[in-house]
Amino acid sequence: MRLLLLLFTLVYSSEQIFVACEGNYYQSNGSVWTIDDGEVYSYAENPLGQVVQSVYVENNKLYVIVNVPGNIQVYDITRNGLIPANYIDTQGSGPREMVIVDGYLYFTNWYTSDVKKLNLSTLEIEDYIVMPGLPEDIVFHDGMLYVSIIMNNDWSDGDKVVSINPSDNSIVDVYEVGSGPGSLSIYNDEIYIARTFYDDNWNAFYGTSKISNDGAVIQTTYGAGVACGGSVHSLNGNVYRSFNGGVAQLDENLNIIENTRIGDYGFDNVYSVEVFDNHIYFGLSDYSAPDEVAVIDSDGNEVANYEVGAIPGDFAIWNGCFNDGDVNSDGMLNIADIVIVIYYILDDAPFQCEADLNNDGMMDILDVVIAAQEILQN
């Protein structure tokens, strides 16, 4: 029976990388792109708005924050590309970054200086938590939300990270981490913070801070002229900081180990960095379309390069499957798929989510019944 199963089954695995391209301010050319199986695709309905700020994946849905005019757009991730599902108007709140916890989407907002709580079942904003400044990044760790306060309400450099208890939306702690906290990353139960701040002449300065698991804060500010960029990442079992056109490892005191740099795209060209599966994605921009996404492995070898829209600023990864019953991935749900699912069940095969039509975590006769009903209805 296992031989028959192998004959009938085509192994289907999916990974898609979504790229948020901010677009140029006042030109409303922000866009979303999909990297899939070595090819890049522009979403058919691009552009989406003035500033496509961030993207986030949960299950088979893509959430896109458009900063101006201020909305969250939700898409179903399907075999045939992105399908619009929902649209949430944030009433001009200036949304920035987001995270999903227990059926709620929490997102930071500059113009209202708060974190809003969106119920994903009702798509209603149920609550908000006032922040001591303009909140930027948000992550969830060990039962708590952590929010970086990149600027004060008077638009001077902020210096705080706030922790929030999502069970009652209360602020638990406020950590002073140094000027300009932005990107947050979790590694070994500790919160790493990439910082960027400016002097009166708009010269940029950089630093990195860490909130240890005991609540202690360590911070390091780098000397003038160090070209860091604005993000911190986990890679090769260590913490890396965007640095001088690539990424470089941090030592235990958060200093940059310059000779560990991976990537060499020029500081002025790198707009954003993300790490997925030990591959580093660089958003490269000259602030006009087309821009590029370059992908290198952990040894520094470029493995891909894609043309995308203007100013690629954020990335999200989808690793999943489509539980639509098309287990042989031929683009159709038909009797061949039912036969394969029956063999799965009789052979006690490992779980294949494509066969789980009712999404109950099991492959059983109920899935066969649902597949048969769908075939008869079409």
70: alpha, beta or left, given left = phi > 0 and alpha = psi -120 to 50? left
Q: How confident is the model at residue 65 (pLDDT cuts 50, 70, 90)?
A: very high
- Domain spans in the chain, listed from the N-terminal domain onward: 14-320, 324-377
Q: Give the HSE-up count for residue 278: Cα atoms under 13 Å, Cβ half-sphere.
A: 7
Q: How far is CA 315 from CA 81, 168, 345, in A?
A: 17, 30, 37
pLDDT of residue 206: 96
Q: List pLDDT tens digits, range 173-210.
A: 999 999 999 999 999 999 999 999 998 888 899 999 99
Cis (ω within 30 of 0) for the bond into 350? no
Closest CA to 371 of 321, 308, 323: 323
Residues 6+ apart with CB under 8 A from 218: 209, 210, 212, 253, 254
Helices (DSSP H) in the chain: which residue ranges?
2-8, 335-346, 365-377
Residue that wins the pLDDT comparison between 140 and 327: 140
pLDDT of residue 202: 86
Among the residue ranges 121-125, 316-320, 333-337, the one predicted with the least confidence is: 333-337
Determine the distance from the C-alpha atom of residue 335 to the mean position of all C-alpha atoms in its chain, rounded to a whole number.
Answer: 38
The SS3 call for residue 174 is strand
The rounded distance, in Å, linking the Cα atoms of 197 and 220 is: 13
Domain 14-320 classified CATH 3.40.50.2000? no
Query: What mean pLDDT do residues 154-161 have?
Result: 96
Q: At what angle do helices 335-346 and 365-377 cross, to 10 degrees?
A: 180
Length of the chain: 378
Domain 324-377 classified CATH 1.10.1330? yes
Q: How confident is the model at residue 2 (pLDDT cuts 50, 70, 90)?
A: very low
14-320 and 324-377 share one fold: no
The rounded distance, in Å, linking the Cα atoms of 306 and 113 is: 36
Largest CA distance in the chain: 73
